[in-house]
A and B are shown apart, each in its own frame.
Chain A
Amino acid sequence: MAAIPSQLTSLDFFEIKESIKSYLRTRNEFTDYDFEGSAAAYLIDTLAYNTYYTAFNANMALNEAFLESATVRDNVVRIAKQLNYTPRSIKAPRACVTIRVQTQQSLNGTTFPEFCTLSAGDVFVARNFNDTYTFCVTRDLQTTVDASTGIAVFDPVLVYQGNLLTFNYTVDYTKRQDYIIPTEDVDTALVYVDISPNAQSQEIDTYNLAANVTALNSTSRVYYLEESDDLRYRLVFGDGVLGRKLIDGEFIRLSYVTTFGEEANGCKDFAFIGTIRDSDQRAIAPANIAVVTREPASDGEARESALSIKFRAPRSFATQNRAVTETDYEHIVSEIYPQAASVTAYGGEKLTPPIYGKVYVAIRPKTGNKLNETTKAKIKNDLKPYTVASIDPVIIDPTTYYIIPKSYVYYDGNNTNKSGAQLASDVLRNVDQFNKNGQNNRFGGRVDTSKYNSMLDNSDPAISGSVTQMTIGQNLDKFEFGNVFTQCLDFGNPLYNPSNYSGSPSGGSGTSCSTDADCPEGQICIDGTCQQDPNAGGGNSGKCNPSFSVVKSGTFYATGFTEDLVNLTMQGAGTNSTAPVVSSQSIANENQVLVPVNIRDDGKGNLLLVTKRDEVEVVLNNAVGSVDYEKGQVCVGPIAIGGTPDDTERLPMQVLPYGGSITVPPGVDPTLFDVSVFPIDWKTNDISIPNFDPNNFNGYNYGDPTGINIIDYPTDTFTYPVDTSCF
């Protein structure tokens, strides 16, 4: 059988050429193909060139037909379109400003205009380190004028970097129309589609982007968005089944913002170049307009790269807009309820004991603390079409762990011009940013002291290291004033068990004492000396009483614990004792003023109700609850709270978790609270601060008299940080 050229699909020209020459070597018609000047060599070149391009074309065409191997962006986008994936467009940086306008009196000379209007369009210019950029508002804004001062305040005004442009189409049934936004750098989140029956009509319908077809009908005013060639986006309207079909002659007005994207991030100091008119249609003079930047430009992003589309399109397709995994729930809930500041979802099987068939979705709204029952029911209903049959979504309020870090930051005073206080304020600013990041799934399910410390250490080059103690706080909030209640708080992390650190008494048996409380655990006071308790079980270790608490509450007033009761307690049982319990019922109605009290643990698993009298602690009740140090569970009650200093039905409880990291259980939203930072200039004060030292409770007096070992009684109710951001 005659040889034939075998490398005709090769992608190397010389391989193909050599293959043809090898074939010719088997023939005797021509011999000169080896010499580059021969006509045969010219002919072979032409053949090889042709073959090479055919092979290349076939290879390229096939490569471009698959998402995995496509390289041309337009082709990647086309394949992603089949997976119903719309690539993310360039994103305009946004900033927040306040505009204060002083209006002139109206033409009648006695009153001010009723309102002012800021026209949509380009309204500001601002600079960053790159260049000067234009910022626009996308819709007309109107605000009322203060009738007495004539001042109108636009606040907040969200401005986007870019130019606001418009483009019109008229629906024409006689043509095959493509409604393409004719610019490439368009932020698709800032596309506004207004449709009127004809160009002259004032009747305008605003169409919205369709996120999901399941809720659409023939009258839904929606459009679909897809990327077409050359980075342009195409609008597609409904067909009369999934969204309203446009009627011949209707007038489409597109408004959109073309932006420079991320390069304009960081712009501040906005100079006004727009137009504000009052209700008398008079333009406000620039001298009467003052602008304050609330938030500089941020969040600008480049368009999604072909590589990112290749990665995300199949994964996005995999979810199929169905709620299956926990993150599906989180994503879908944040779409159907955009007012959610954070959403956490977890399966009931993660609970103890497990509850199968339910998915718990904890939602924290942007405003207020909790969702009302109507909203919860609505979200649950909206969620139903996405969920797998037989899975019941349950909307709950999130539990919040208020994590209270107390940090000692070492710095080299010779390395910085900043004072300790300035450094602390820089560090706190960094901590604030750290806390703001990732509202959803904040801190990735764990709060690690080492990570937190490394964030502190990076706040300033002069900082050489840091030591941090973290405590966790939660509010008791399931009580009403005056009613006896019991509530358990689950801190989800093991706590330090003070009994493990109490040590053995130096004197052992025979130590002089006045009450049982002066003796170590397992011993009692007999005839002025500590003796082994004959009633205690065998194997008693003779441990000292624990000397610190890991659970402390804020100050409150407990029903029944009055001044008289305290006086009586002090007379009867002595001070600083956990032994006696006196009932308030036995006291005549003389001085019924409630005393401020706190709850703390005794280190042995019991909660004590204590107060202070003449700088000495008085135990009023030694059984107001229990602590499980292993599980981190604190149960308060039965007790009746008569009042709190801030008159809210919330009482802060703070615990000291064991170890350097805090695990965040499902459904819990952690946030940093009341962060304290104590800078130590180690050049002048080289002191070492251990993470935890059970034998030293004198404290390290660097601005904080209570030191790092023990936790303080919390002074304020824990409150979730209010999001003051414009966005």
Chain B
Amino acid sequence: MPAYRFRSDQYVSRGFKDLAISFNSNPSTDDFGAVKNERAINQSVRNLLLTILGERPFQPNIGSRVKGLLFEPWDPFSADAIKTEISDCLGRLEPRITVQDVRIEDNSDLNEIQVELEYKITGENITQEVTFLLEKT
């Protein structure tokens, strides 16, 4: 049971449905894998944060500076810059959510940082929390 319910899937235009970025096929239908609703938003958030500015053809403003910031000397200012960048990026490019909190945990020994992102889906009074790792690769 999901933490919230979207409107009926019958009203397709009100739900969200996206391709699974893994491009794995659905074992039962042998078709494209699909993600829906909050998982689609979650995937979109990750996509945006991991896209470098200028990576998308002819659209230099899509993406974030997060990957670049990972390689800055690590200090509280860098951590703060990453937080700000995440909020800004999602504020600009993901109208479906409102970011409420970004927490960063430094795992420098493993060359990674852990991001805990808390956001609210617009129009739904439910807060989602997503945790993912950013690695210097």
Expressed in whole angstroms, the minimum distance between the Cβ of A52 and any Cβ of chain B is 8
Provided the pairs A36-B93, A39-B43, A42-B47 are in contact, do residues A30 and B56 lie with their beta carbons within 8 angstroms? Answer: no
Hey, which chain B residues are within 8 Å of A29, CB to CB? 17, 34
Hey, which chain B residues are within 8 Å of A49, CB to CB? 57-58
- Please tell me if B62 contacts chain A, counting CB pairs below 8 Å: yes
Find out whether the CB atom of B15 lies under 8 angstroms from the CB atom of A36. Answer: no
Segment 50-99 of B: residues with Cβ below 8 Å from A: 51, 56-59, 62, 93-96
Expressed in whole angstroms, the minimum distance between the Cβ of B90 and any Cβ of chain A is 9
Interface centre among A39, A40, A48 (most CB of B within 10 A): A39
Hey, which chain A residues are within 8 Å of B44, CB to CB? 32, 35, 37-39
Find out whether the CB atom of A31 lies under 8 angstroms from the CB atom of B12. Answer: yes
Find out whether the CB atom of A39 lies under 8 angstroms from the CB atom of B18. Answer: yes
- Please tell me if B121 contacts chain A, counting CB pairs below 8 Å: no
Hey, which chain B residues are within 8 Å of A39, CB to CB? 18-21, 35, 43-44, 47
* Number of A-B contacts defined by CB within 8 Å: 66
Complex-state Cα separation, A230 to B129, whole angstroms: 61
Residue count of chain B within 8 Å CB distance of chain A: 27
Find out whether the CB atom of B57 lies under 8 angstroms from the CB atom of A45. Answer: yes
**What residue in chain A is nearest B96 (Cβ atoms)?**
A35
Expressed in whole angstroms, the minimum distance between the Cβ of B11 and any Cβ of chain A is 10
- Please tell me if A43 contacts chain B, counting CB pairs below 8 Å: yes
Find out whether the CB atom of B34 lies under 8 angstroms from the CB atom of A37. Answer: no
Q: Could you give, for residues 22-62 of chain A, a 1 whenever the CB lies within 8 Å of some chain B CB and a 0 otherwise?
A: 00000011111001111110110100110010000000000
Expressed in whole angstroms, the minimum distance between the Cβ of B61 and any Cβ of chain A is 9
Complex-state Cα separation, A45 to B19, whole angstroms: 14
Complex partner residue of B45 from A13, A28, A37, CB under 8 angstroms: A37
**What residue in chain B is nearest A17 (Cβ atoms)?**
B58
Complex partner residue of A43 from B19, B58, B59, CB under 8 angstroms: B19
Complex-state Cα separation, A29 to B93, whole angstroms: 23
Expressed in whole angstroms, the minimum distance between the Cβ of B115 and any Cβ of chain A is 15
Expressed in whole angstroms, the minimum distance between the Cβ of B72 and any Cβ of chain A is 24
Complex-state Cα separation, A43 to B43, whole angstroms: 14
Complex-state Cα separation, A45 to B62, whole angstroms: 12
Find out whether the CB atom of A38 lies under 8 angstroms from the CB atom of B47. Answer: yes
Complex-state Cα separation, A43 to B62, whole angstroms: 14
- Please tell me if B102 contacts chain A, counting CB pairs below 8 Å: no
Find out whether the CB atom of B48 lies under 8 angstroms from the CB atom of A40. Answer: no
Complex-state Cα separation, A13 to B59, whole angstroms: 10
Find out whether the CB atom of B57 lies under 8 angstroms from the CB atom of A38. Answer: no
Expressed in whole angstroms, the minimum distance between the Cβ of B21 and any Cβ of chain A is 4
Complex-state Cα separation, A482 to B45, whole angstroms: 114
Complex-state Cα separation, A36 to B44, whole angstroms: 8
- Please tell me if B16 contacts chain A, counting CB pairs below 8 Å: yes
Complex-state Cα separation, A30 to B20, whole angstroms: 11
- Please tell me if A356 contacts chain B, counting CB pairs below 8 Å: no
Hey, which chain A residues are within 8 Å of B56, CB to CB? 36, 42, 45
Expressed in whole angstroms, the minimum distance between the Cβ of A549 and any Cβ of chain B is 83
Interface centre among A14, A30, A38, A43 (most CB of B within 10 A): A38
Hey, which chain B residues are within 8 Å of A30, CB to CB? 17-19, 34
Hey, which chain B residues are within 8 Å of A13, CB to CB? 57-58
Expressed in whole angstroms, the minimum distance between the Cβ of B74 and any Cβ of chain A is 27
Expressed in whole angstroms, the minimum distance between the Cβ of B124 and any Cβ of chain A is 16
Provided the pairs A39-B20, A45-B56, A49-B57 are in contact, do residues A31 and B15 lie with their beta carbons within 8 angstroms? Answer: yes
Provided the pairs A36-B48, A39-B47 are in contact, do residues A31 and B57 lie with their beta carbons within 8 angstroms? Answer: no
- Please tell me if B13 contacts chain A, counting CB pairs below 8 Å: yes
Find out whether the CB atom of B18 lies under 8 angstroms from the CB atom of A40. Answer: yes
Find out whether the CB atom of A45 lies under 8 angstroms from the CB atom of B12. Answer: no
Find out whether the CB atom of B93 lies under 8 angstroms from the CB atom of A31. Answer: no
**What residue in chain A is nearest B58 (Cβ atoms)?**
A13
Find out whether the CB atom of A31 lies under 8 angstroms from the CB atom of B19. Answer: no
Expressed in whole angstroms, the minimum distance between the Cβ of A166 and any Cβ of chain B is 50
- Please tell me if B40 contacts chain A, counting CB pairs below 8 Å: yes
**What residue in chain A is nearest B20 (Cβ atoms)?**
A39
Expressed in whole angstroms, the minimum distance between the Cβ of A245 and any Cβ of chain B is 54
Hey, which chain A residues are within 8 Å of B58, CB to CB? 13-14, 49
**What residue in chain A is nearest B23 (Cβ atoms)?**
A39
**What residue in chain B is nearest A50 (Cβ atoms)?**
B57
Find out whether the CB atom of B18 lies under 8 angstroms from the CB atom of A36. Answer: no
Expressed in whole angstroms, the minimum distance between the Cβ of A592 and any Cβ of chain B is 104
Closest 10 CB pairs of A and B: A37-B44, A32-B18, A37-B48, A39-B19, A49-B57, A39-B21, A13-B58, A37-B47, A38-B18, A31-B17
> Would you list 22 pairs from A and B whose C-beta atoms are within 8 A, ordered by A residue?
A30-B18, A31-B12, A31-B15, A31-B16, A31-B17, A32-B16, A32-B18, A35-B94, A35-B96, A36-B48, A36-B93, A37-B45, A37-B47, A37-B48, A37-B51, A39-B18, A40-B18, A40-B19, A42-B47, A42-B56, A49-B57, A49-B58
